Amino acid sequence: MKEISTTFTLTTFEINEIEKQKKYYENSRSVSIEALKIVQKKRGWVCDQAIIEIANILNLNPSEVESVATFYSQIYRQPVGRNVIRYCDSVVCYLTGYEKIKKFLEDYLFIKIGNTTVDGRFTLLPVCCLGNCDKAPTIMINEDLYSHLNPDLIPNLLELYK
């Protein structure tokens, strides 16, 4: 069961940034993805109360904002680690060895898919495609894309992310 904080409020900065985005879109629904990204950038994830507050600012039903939040895999609805590793599990990455990458990451980090390391450093998530099929297998750590991976390259790569 998710815990909902009753003391949650968006910051003035977050509210102002969401209000600014309203100028660039024709309707409030279109702003909702930007609003979610603003909150996530500041907090690392988007809690239930943030959904409600975003909906209030955009004059939407919270279920409309929730549907956007749950549709996009890069909006996190629960806390994640300081660094999010997304491994591509598309057909192309499958054919080029993503399973070895996934297995290595699970064993090296001592976590399974969807989990976060004990120290909160990494969260491991699958993604259906990173749009980098000609350079598979591919992973993304935060905003950085890595191609032509093999398990031997991963330890040094992870050291870049503290």
**pLDDT digit string (tens) for 9-25?**
999 999 999 999 999 99
Of the candidates 52, 57, 48, the one whose C-alpha atom is nearest the C-alpha of residue 15 is 57
The rounded distance, in Å, linking the Cα atoms of 70 and 21 is 20
Of the candidates 47, 44, 46, the one whose C-alpha atom is nearest the C-alpha of residue 4 is 47
The rounded distance, in Å, linking the Cα atoms of 132 and 148 is 10
Beta-carbon count within 10 A of 114 CB: 11
Please return the burial class of 129, using the count of CB atoms within 10 Å of its CB with bins 0-12, 13-18 and 19+: middle
What are the distances in angstroms from CA 107 to CA 58, 103, 117, 154, 158? 43, 6, 11, 12, 13
* pTM of the entire predicted model: 0.78
| Residue 114 structure tokens | 């969807």
Q: What is the mean pLDDT of the chain?
A: 92
How does pLDDT run across 58-99, given as a tens digit for each residue?
Answer: 999 999 999 999 998 889 999 999 999 999 888 888 899 889
The rounded distance, in Å, linking the Cα atoms of 75 and 129 is 16
How do strand 122-127 and strand 144-146 relate by DSSP bridges?
unpaired
